[in-house]
C-alpha cells in the first residue's frame, strides 16, 4: 500500500530524514516510534503529501506522489484518513458538522445521505447521539473518537494517526488503542500510527519501525522488535519488557 524508496528530507542543511526505505503492506498496522526530533513526524507528513522529499520516491498504492501538484495530491488524499495529535476539530462547528466536513467539501451527496454517514461513523466509534454537541463539551478521549469518525467518513484505504494517545490518561489511551484495532479489523484499512508510546505501539501494531536521528534503524514484528539488541531500541523498550 505504501512504499518509501531512498527518501531523504533536508530543511536547509539539516537532514531530517536520511535514505529511508520502508514498505507498508495492505491491511497492516505499522507503528512508527522515535523520540522528539527523530524524524517520525516528518516521515508522516511526507506520506500524506504535506511536504515533498528532497530525494527519493513515495508511492501510495500505484501512485508516486513526490512530484505531484496540489490538485493531484488532493485526489490521492481522498484515499486517506487522518487523526491529528490534538484532534483538530473546528471549535465553531458541531460534532456532526465536523464529521461531515470532508463529505460536504468533496462530494455531491445529499444532506440526508451525509447525515446518515455521520450517524453511522459516530456509532462505529462508540458515540451515538452526540451530533449536536460542540467540541468544548467533549472529553479528550471523545474528541479523538470524533476525529476518527471524520477520518473514516470517506471510507479511506489508509488511516494515519499522529500521536493518538498524546494527552490522554492510561485508561483512555487503552480505549483509543482498542478503537484503532477494531477500526482496522472492521474496515480492513492500512494503519500508520506515529507514537512515542511504546506500550501502545506494542498493543496495536503488526510491526514497529523506529526512526532515530533521521534514520530508520529497526523494523520488525512486535515480538522480534522486543529482542533487538541495539541500545537505542532497548532504551525505548525499557519498562515494558
Residue 240 has pLDDT above 70, yes or no: no
Q: Is the pLDDT of residue 85 over 80?
A: no
Segment 6-31 shows an average pLDDT of 95
Say if residue 184's pLDDT is above 70. Answer: yes
Whether the per-residue pLDDT at 107 is higher than 80: the answer is yes
- Residue linked to cell 525505548: 236
Residue 101 has pLDDT above 70, yes or no: yes
| pLDDT for 155 | 87
* Cβ neighbours around 152 below 10 Å, total: 21
pLDDT at 241: 46
Is the pLDDT confidence value at 11 over 90? yes
Task: Give the span between the Cα atoms of 77 and 80, in whole angstroms.
Answer: 5
Amino acid at each position: 500500500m505504501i512504499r518509501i524508496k531512498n527518501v531523504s528530507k533536508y530543511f536547509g542543511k539539516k537532514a531530517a530524514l536520511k535514505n529511508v526505505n520502508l514498505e507498508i503492506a495492505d491491511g497492516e498496522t505499522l507503528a512508527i516510534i522515535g523520540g522528539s526530533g527523530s524524524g517520525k513526524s516528518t516521515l508522516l507528513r511526507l506520506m500524506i503529501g504535506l511536504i515533498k522529499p528532497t530525494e527519493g520516491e513515495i508511492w501510495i498504492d500505484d501512485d508516486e506522489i513526490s512530484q505531484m501538484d496540489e490538485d493531484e495530491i488532493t485526489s490521492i488524499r481522498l484515499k486517506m484518513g487522518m487523526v491529528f495529535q490534538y484532534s483538530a476539530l473546528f471549535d465553531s462547528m458541531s460534532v456532526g458538522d465536523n464529521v461531515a466536513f470532508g463529505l460536504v467539501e468533496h462530494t455531491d451527496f445529499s444532506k440526508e445521505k451525509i447525515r446518515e454517514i455521520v450517524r453511522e461513523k459516530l456509532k462505529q466509534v462508540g458515540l451515538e447521539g452526540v451530533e449536536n454537541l460542540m467540541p468544548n463539551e467533549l472529553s479528550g478521549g471523545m474528541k479523538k473518537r470524533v476525529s476518527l469518525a471524520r477520518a473514516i467518513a470517506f471510507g479511506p484505504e489508509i488511516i494515519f494517526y499522529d500521536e493518538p494517545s498524546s494527552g490522554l490518561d492510561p485508561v483512555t489511551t487503552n480505549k483509543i488503542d482498542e478503537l484503532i484495532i477494531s477500526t482496522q479489523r472492521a474496515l480492513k484499512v492500512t494503519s500508520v500510527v506515529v507514537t512515542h508510546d511504546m506500550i501502545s505501539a506494542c498493543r496495536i501494531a503488526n510491526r514497529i519501525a523506529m526512526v532515530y536521528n533521521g534514520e530508520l534503524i529497526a523494523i520488525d514484528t512486535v515480538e522480534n522488535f522486543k529482542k533487538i539488541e541495539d541500545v537505542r531500541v532497548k532504551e525505548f523498550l525499557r519498562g515494558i519488557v
